[in-house]
Amino acid sequence: MLIRRPPDIPTREITDERLYRSRRDFLRSTAGAIAAGALSPALLAACGGRGAEAEAETVGLAGQDELTPFEDVTTYNNFYEFGTDKSDPARKGGSMRVRPWTVAIEGEVAKPGEYDVDELIRLFPPEEHVYRMRCVEAWSMVIPWFGFRLGDLLKHVEPTGQAKYVEFTTLLDPEQFPGQKRRILDWPYVEGLRLDEAMHPLTLLSVGLYGKTLLPQNGAPIRLVVPWKYGFKGIKSIVRIRLVRSQPRNTWQISAPNEYGFYANVNPEVDHPRWSQATERRIGEFRRRKTLPFNGYADQVASLYAGMDLRRNF
């Protein structure tokens, strides 16, 4: 399968983000991507199986927010495996091989195994999910992800009664990820969720955005998306999902425990030690806007944390 790097994608093949404001426009743009060969064979089958004219529900709660332009979404990224500059992932992503790719499901499950990413796409046909995304650095985007609910995969592998948390691991390969040649972080990158967070219907495993297969800089070929948490929870290029009994220690929590906790819920009342979280700057805008509790998804997820001190559990 051809995974195109950003310089190789003609402008005419980049779907205008305005087309994603309605269900029909999304489906038409998906059909156009199929014609252009921009999606993987498994994604083609997943789209084609529903029919390009099908009335599919858009999943997400971004409301009337303007979508962040494709160019910004694919050139302004945090992905330290490629480097610490926001432009490094797009510039250096050509070193990455995203097929073949397998994800191991391990730990406290009745049906452990190793799944090819295209097999996962066939098992769990992706849908569009339009989510606000908030970085801990106080900038944000609105992105039309293409993926499936993590909870559907977890139900498939049948967690045991001992499973309390889900641990995710990124590929460790310094030849593909030049940033891993430096000890910026404790490689490989590890993240974790509580099981009920992982099972929540907003929690997504994404395989694409804007109707196209994920590019390396966005976490190809499969990444986590948890829209009510800061972006560092969205681990990229996943090779292992392990269900465990005890809370895993995530990479940034290990690196700077006074700055990054396990939960990472968007909370405007809990500042980062070096900057305020009360406001944010949406990429493409000059004005700052107030940060919403749980990134605007409080009605859907606040009940997960009833009775918890969210200042201590940051």
Condensed to tens digits (0 to 9), the pLDDT of residues 183-222 reads 999 999 999 999 999 999 999 999 999 999 999 999 999 9
Measured in whole angstroms, the distance separating CA 64 from the mean position of its chain's CA atoms is 21
* pLDDT tens, position by position, 156-189: 999 999 999 999 999 999 999 999 999 999 999 9
Residue 133's closest CA among 12, 282, 255? 282
Is residue 263 very low, low, confident or very high in pLDDT (cuts 50, 70, 90)?
very high
> Cα separation of 262 and 34, whole Å?
39
Is residue 65 very low, low, confident or very high in pLDDT (cuts 50, 70, 90)?
confident
* pLDDT tens, position by position, 25-63: 444 444 334 333 355 666 656 554 433 232 334 455 556
How do beta strands 279-282 and 139-149 pair?
Answer: parallel
> Cα separation of 151 and 203, whole Å?
7
Domain annotation for the chain: domains and CATH numbers:
59-305 (3.90.420.10)
The angle subtended at Cα 99 by Cα 93 and Cα 101, nearest 5°, is 105
- How far is it between the farthest Cα atoms of the chain? 51
The pLDDT of 95-110, averaged and rounded, is 97
Q: For residue 63, with 0-12 CB atoms within 10 Å meaning exposed, 13-18 middle and 19 or more buried, which class applies?
A: exposed
Position 227 pLDDT exceeds 80: yes
Residue 82's closest CA among 303, 237, 290? 237
> Cα separation of 237 and 59, whole Å?
23
Helix (H, G, I), strand (E, B) or coil at 51: coil
Burial 14-45 (b: 16+ CB within 10 A, else e): bbebebbeeeeebbbbbbebbebebbbebbbe
Residue written as tokens 């804007």?
Answer: 210
